[in-house]
Structure 1
């Protein structure tokens, strides 16, 4: 794909983000688009956000479950960038009016105390470099009309990042069984999803190691203080005005978030 097209599609997705509108799937307009093209478009979109004053504060891993990989026709996860404007903490209320077609998923977030420089990173290295883990929600959002996406679309669209919510309960992953610990997600007091860390590449730490190695081959390192969202352990959950979600991870604790307003789509 030409540099002109990469810039055009990156700018288009950035404008969709700012105006809370959607665009037609890229794969329909560019049938030969590759994953490399899609990541370059993502970089262009992110550069527009940085130029507007945001900063990079971490990374997210997506497409970690076999069901989603089968749906998108891929056999590895993808990744996106977390920026400063995406962060919420437990107790905040998310205004859906700032999003387009949001869905929530629950996962485990790693906060690093040391840099990680791949390739060659193992799950043990990830645990050693982690300051703490917290339960969290990622509110994914797509700038692609009706979530009609293939892997190239979601990668170009910054892995469908919306916002994320970090819980206040911190745990040491070296003292927790993050692989077998069960997760329960409640919506307005009713259980809507259950899962476990093993659903994420065998362990959330494996997913973080995969990303550290993938980025390392591109000359990008994880930095101390960054937040890494390790991949969903729940189903996608629709949210609307007045909803409250709680995810609880066995041995760790819970994260709670409320929603108000109406999304754009």
Structure 2
């Protein structure tokens, strides 16, 4: 009789062997359509960035040439301001900042005040008409005055009779300043708009430009002369080299990204090729079932 306490216990029921642990899922190669689309996009982006970079290089060359030409005009001997026969040809590219001189008589009772912010403070430009011998008028920006110097009696003696004014030719500034339109009816000016100022003052035969007067020497006792001339700011932003390097850098990033994707795709296909061949061989060697 068998001792139940010593009856061997039944072992676990044999079952199917556990599947071998699988590694991380293998990434499949990208489709041909996806690769073609990606290549076209990379080519378009790289070409666009290259074009923008090259355009900035040309812009930089143009800006450097402009700076050189303006510097030559500013420091050249003064020439006669363009007469009426030349007014139609006056333009920003060829004439702005040209060192000129003009003779005539100031009409102080028709001066205008244009709001200004300068290195000496906030105030106004004094725009005074200068009547020439031929009957034409040129607006002269005589310089800066502080708000308490708007009244002519606070500035000392004003030039009278025939005077010769030297300075830099400037092109009219139509409409107004930044986010501020000129208000002729209210006599509020935010830009040196020659035509609008002339119309508001009833001036005729007015040149299409104005002249920034040169600096005035101090008075006999060394006091500052008002208005303060010679405050023209000549500044041309020239960041084109930075922009060009930025665009070219983006182009190189696109090229590198395209190369990286192509290299990764090639390695992936090389890894999958033996597996594909082995799988095909196993299917060929598999016995046919009855």
TM-score (normalizing by structure 2): 0.21
Structure in which a larger fraction of residues adopt helix = 2
Question: Highest CA radius of gyration, 1 or 2?
Answer: 2
Structure in which a larger fraction of residues adopt strand = 1
Question: Relative CO higher for 1 or 2, CA cutoff 8 Å, sep ≥ 6?
Answer: 1
